[in-house]
Structure 1
Amino acid sequence: MSMTIKVFVTGGTGFIGTNLVRLLLEQGYSVKALVRPNSRLDNLKGLEIELIKGDLNNPDLSKQMQGCSVLFHVAAHYSLWQSEVEKLYQSNVLGTRQVLAAAREAGIERTVYTSSVAAIGVGKPGESVDETHQSPVEKLVGHYKKSKYYAEQEAIKACQKGQDVVIVNPSTPIGPWDIKPTPTGDIILRFLRRQMPAYVDTGLNLIDVRDVAWGHLLALEKGKTGERYILGHQNLSLKELLEKLAQITALEAPKTTVPLWLPLAVAWVEERILAPLGKPPSVPLDGVKMSTQPMYYEAAKAVKELGLPQSPLEIALKDAVEWFMSHGYIA
């Protein structure tokens, strides 16, 4: 790939964005990345990219995209706290609308928009769903999922106006460069720190974050305009995930399950009663509600149409553990 192909990336400091930027550089693309003035830039240190300071509401965004032919809109605000509802819609919905408008004005030829399986919703308990499924928006648990649904609608509207946008819906990525960390990275960290004596009976679809990065690039090359592609791999219960971590680390996996009413009660008291009194909550109520049903997905469409890689999860978990340990996350 020629260095003359310049791409604009939002969210490049985040977990998926960092892995995408690194892949783009490896594949010979020239990268311009939008970063917030207060963002941690550790993940991008030493990379040959052009950094643009600003945010999704920057009025000069279309000018900053000039010279780029491709946009990867990866940036999103992730929070399950009730106190950040307004920020979720401002960043995820209005931000997506503004970024897509800027891309249209700047003459961007093709956009890959990073949605989420959160926008799709879930099926019946234990059921694995694909891109054709859509939970009613009122059934989506929490404002993060709702904001991602409405943000995806912005991408669809842009397509209807003639803009070339491909939608990708990552499931739960794992692997290196999880700087924040993500909720799944936090599970790995709590396991490593021996802070997880018990677990909730739930499940997730997991995928190596580097395969997610490849999914973005493959969507650029092969994706159909206006279509969504689930970037996922393997459905695992939380118990199975912890057992895999036990095999990798030789640490013992927790054997006790927690009845869901207990974390629900704790989360409700913390967010609804203690938080208004000034005590920061430790457990998000929406996060506990989400865990009441396994979030299982089917990625056959992306595998067949895009060639999405399906790397072994054991490698991603091992690399995540090593990255956390080598970057001082384990006290």
Structure 2
Amino acid sequence: MILVTGGTGLVGSHLLLDLAQTGKKLKAIYRTEKSLEGVKKVFSYTNSQEEVLRLFNLIEWIRADITDIPSLAKAFEGVRYVYHCAAMVNFDSSKDAQLRKVNIEGTANIVNYCIKNKIEKLVHVSSIATFDKKPGEKEISELSFWNKELDHNMYAITKYGAEMEVWRASQEGIPVVIVNPGVILGPGFWNDGSGKIFKKVNSGLNYHFPKTTGFVGVWDVVKAMVKLMNSSVKNEEFILVSENLSFREVFNLTARNLNKPAPSKKLKKWMIFAGWVWQEISALFTHRQRQLDSRLQKSLYEHSFYSSNKLKRELSFEFQPIAGVIETTAEAFKKDQQQ
């Protein structure tokens, strides 16, 4: 029996589709009935409605929360393998305590149950945010370690803390693999994460910024996770990046596939600073979520390059080009807009 946490998120829902299609016995955690509709939508991109329901019903859905220890007991009954995809992504400084609770404490709870139940393998989804470039290094690899002296945002801090919990599982005899994806692109969740790129470009995005980072398609993340789970690899971590691109390049590819004009104006540093100041002031009088903190605004002009050579060597893995990922995702977005 396989357990998937975060089964109603981008990675989790695409992972469940892959596993269900291969006939695996599955359990998945969900928190609200509404979130299950997102899973069905992901299933529907490549299946008839009848097949969507068949695959969906193959999964034993457990209502639980990774921060609620008692609710996890039933989820772990009979489980031998765990994919831990559940996490919180947020850059609002007012959510820092919640980020710690979900990403660190929640992962600690999953690890404790893995140890207690002596599961056979744990695959954990982390982030490239836990790697820092060493002086003189051109590309960031798995040899590029966390530098505690740097000013990290709370998301990165909590993902690193979650990794420490997973390594604790390995010390207790649980075989683990950590995957560190770049920015994950894929269809299904247009109001969250990278899905907002398609929504904003479609509505008319005017500005671009030069930040370069690693991007990867959700299908490659899923493929890598399944291959690593089924392999003899243990107690290792792998960067998952198909290509290093600037956000301007990603915006342009997205605009081209949505038949929209590409953002033509460069976002100036003073604009970002002014927007951050206004956001901080307005937050004192409203309940609107902050989208940009002082650390994140600086990162919009950074260029980071990542290497996935370790995964390519270990599994002879080939990544899908990001142009193809964006094309497929844009087609799904247009389909959803017509409904």
Gapped regions of structure 1 (runs ≥ 5): 1-5
Q: Which amino acid aligns with 1:83?
A: S
Q: Which amino acid aligns with 2:202?
A: L
Contact 1:189 / 1:329 at 8 angstroms: preserved in 2? no
* Cα separation, 2, equivalents of 1:266 and 1:38: 36
Q: Does 1:142 align with 2:153?
A: yes
Q: Deviations over 1:27-52 (max 9, x none)?
A: 22111001113651113333121100
* Cα separation, 1, equivalents of 2:3 and 2:287: 40
* Cα separation, 2, equivalents of 1:294 and 1:187: 19
Q: Deviations over 1:255-293 (max 9, x none)?
A: 22112232133113313x221222525632244233231
C-alpha displacement of 1:141: 2.6
Count of residue pairs the alignment pairs up: 322
C-alpha displacement of 1:120: 1.5
* Cα separation, 2, equivalents of 1:12 and 1:180: 17
Q: Which amino acid aligns with 2:317?
A: L
Contact 2:63 / 2:71 at 8 angstroms: preserved in 1? no
Corresponding residue SS for 1:131: coil
What is the RMSD of the two structures over their aligned residues, measured on CA atoms? Answer: 2.2
Corresponding residue SS for 1:251: coil
Task: Name the counterpart of 1:255.
Answer: 264
C-alpha displacement of 1:94: 0.8
* Cα separation, 1, equivalents of 2:74 and 2:216: 35
* Cα separation, 1, equivalents of 2:172 and 2:299: 34
* Cα separation, 2, equivalents of 1:43 and 1:281: 23
2:275 to 262, 266, 269: 266
Task: Name the counterpart of 2:208.
Answer: 199
Task: Name the counterpart of 2:21.
Answer: 26
Task: Summarize the alignment of residues 15-164 of structure 1 with structure 2, pairs less than 5 Å apart.
Answer: 15-37=10-32, 40-45=35-40, 46=53, 47=56, 48-56=58-66, 57-122=68-133, 127-164=138-175
Corresponding residue SS for 1:8: strand
1:243 to 222, 247, 252: 252
Residues 281 and 123 of structure 1: is their aligned pair in 2 closer, same or farther, counting only changes over 3 Å?
A: farther
Task: Name the counterpart of 2:176.
Answer: 165
Q: Deviations over 1:191-232 (max 9, x none)?
A: 1111x2111111121111111111110111226322111111
TM score, norm. by length of structure 1: 0.90
Contact 1:205 / 1:297 at 8 angstroms: preserved in 2? yes
TM score, norm. by length of structure 2: 0.88
Identity %: 26
Corresponding residue SS for 1:277: coil
Corresponding residue SS for 2:98: helix
Residues 197 and 208 of structure 1: is their aligned pair in 2 closer, same or farther, counting only changes over 3 Å?
A: same
Residues 114 and 241 of structure 1: is their aligned pair in 2 closer, same or farther, counting only changes over 3 Å?
A: same
Gapped regions of structure 2 (runs ≥ 5): 41-52
Contact 2:211 / 2:302 at 8 angstroms: preserved in 1? yes
Task: Name the counterpart of 2:43.
Answer: none
* Cα separation, 2, equivalents of 1:228 and 1:201: 28
Contact 1:37 / 1:54 at 8 angstroms: preserved in 2? no
